[in-house]
């Protein structure tokens, strides 16, 4: 690997970490970067899953104020996301790409829609059942499914998880994003552990990408605290729809 390629991957990783911590869209920068240096789609997907694990580490470290006092809610959700991640990586290793490939853009677009519509959906549910917002179940099949998607295909997984949590959790977009980073990180951790053993992970490309992502994701929550909620939610949704379109065309 040349020095220029190393620097380019580090820069792409930094952008990916920033986008991942804020919008759950790390792969909008990291996945194309891996393809551009010559990795096959399969190798790029599995290398991206492993490399973006550092995004979870950095964003969780940077979002400690948003996570403080919420771990009794977060831990069960993270465990469920991890179970989903295990299922997703098994699907990736045991089935042809075409099995899920056709629905990937639809899932990302669905997540972007849920991010945008989450507050309205919660208000509607609360008006029909005032107890619904106060007594959210600890078990969430939707979180498991979002984790499954993350274990199968990293690109857009954060948007889908953000959408699921936007409907479930009564919290600001900044807090929801912090919880999203923990849950997506749990799914990613399980998937990465399996892929390191069973898949063609390219560590030469993954290391500079991961290092840059660690930096960007640590800065991301600090940037996010300064952004107004409504425009931020809209920006995350628009970026999610853009990624869905890119994946559909690609």
pLDDT digits (tens, 9 = 90+) for 99-125: 656 777 787 787 778 777 766 765 665
Q: How far is CA 149 from CA 11, 88, 158, 241, in A?
A: 26, 6, 10, 17
**For position 130, what pLDDT does the model report?**
47
- Is the pLDDT at 245 greater than 90, yes or no? no
Kindly state the average pLDDT of the residues 59-63: 89
Task: Convert the pLDDT of each residue in 36-49 to its tens digit.
Answer: 899 987 788 889 88
CA distances from residue 54 to 10, 17, 99 in whole angstroms, order as listed:
13, 8, 28
In the chain, % of residues over pLDDT 70: 88
| Backbone phi and psi for residue 189, each to the nearest 5 degrees, phi listed first | -60, -45
Mean pLDDT calculated for residue range 56-62: 90
Confidence at residue 112, expressed as pLDDT on a 0 to 100 scale: 76
> What is the Cα–Cα distance from 98 to 211, expressed in whole angstroms?
31
Tell whether the model's pLDDT for residue 213 goes beyond 60. Answer: yes
Q: What is the model's pTM?
A: 0.78
Q: Is pLDDT at 140 greater than 90 in this prediction?
A: no
pLDDT for 204 beyond 90: yes
Separation between Cα atoms, residue 36 and residue 59, nearest integer Å: 26
Do 147 and 169 contact (CB within 8 A), yes or no? no
In percent, how much of the chain has pLDDT > 90?
32
Most confident of 15-24, 67-76, 151-160, 170-179: 67-76
Whole-angstrom distance, CA of residue 88 vs CA of residue 145: 9
Please tell me the predicted confidence (pLDDT) of residue 133.
47
The structural domains of the chain, with segments of one domain joined by +, span 3-249
Please report the pLDDT score of residue 91 as a whole number: 86
Q: Is the pLDDT higher at 142 or at 139?
A: 142
Rounded distance between C-alpha atoms, residue 41 and residue 214, angstroms: 23
- The SS3 assignment for 169 reads coil
Q: Are 119 and 169 in contact (CB under 8 A)?
A: no
Taking a C-beta distance cutoff of 8 angstroms, is the pair 84, 188 a contact?
no
Nearest 5°: the CA angle 181, 235, 32 is: 70
């Amino acid at each position: 690997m040349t020095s220029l390629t190393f620097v380019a991957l580090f820069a792409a990783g930094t952008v990916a970490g920033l986008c991942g911590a804020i919008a759950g869209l790390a792969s909008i920068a990291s996945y194309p970067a891996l393809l551009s240096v010559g990795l096959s789609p399969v190798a790029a997907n599995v290398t991206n899953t492993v490399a973006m694990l550092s995004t979870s580490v950095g964003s969780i470290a940077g979002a400690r104020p948003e996570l403080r006092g919420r771990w009794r809610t977060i831990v069960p959700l993270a465990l469920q996301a991890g179970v989903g991640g295990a299922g997703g990586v098994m699907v990736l290793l045991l089935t042809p790409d075409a099995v899920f490939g056709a629905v990937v853009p639809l899932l990302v677009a669905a997540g972007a829609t849920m991010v945008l519509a989450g507050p309205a959906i919660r208000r509607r549910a609360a008006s029909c059942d005032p107890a619904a917002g106060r007594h959210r179940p600890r078990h969430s099949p939707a979180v498991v499914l979002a984790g499954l998607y993350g274990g199968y295909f990293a690109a857009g997984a954060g948007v889908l998880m953000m959408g699921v949590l936007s409907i479930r959790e009564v919290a600001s977009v900044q807090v929801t994003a912090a919880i999203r980073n923990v849950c997506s990180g749990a799914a990613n951790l399980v998937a990465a552990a399996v892929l390191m053993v069973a898949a063609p992970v390219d560590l030469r490309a993954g290391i500079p990408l991961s290092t840059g992502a660690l930096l960007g994701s640590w800065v991301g929550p600090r940037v996010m605290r300064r952004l107004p909620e409504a425009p931020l939610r809209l920006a995350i949704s628009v970026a999610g729809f853009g990624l869905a379109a890119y994946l559909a065309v690609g």
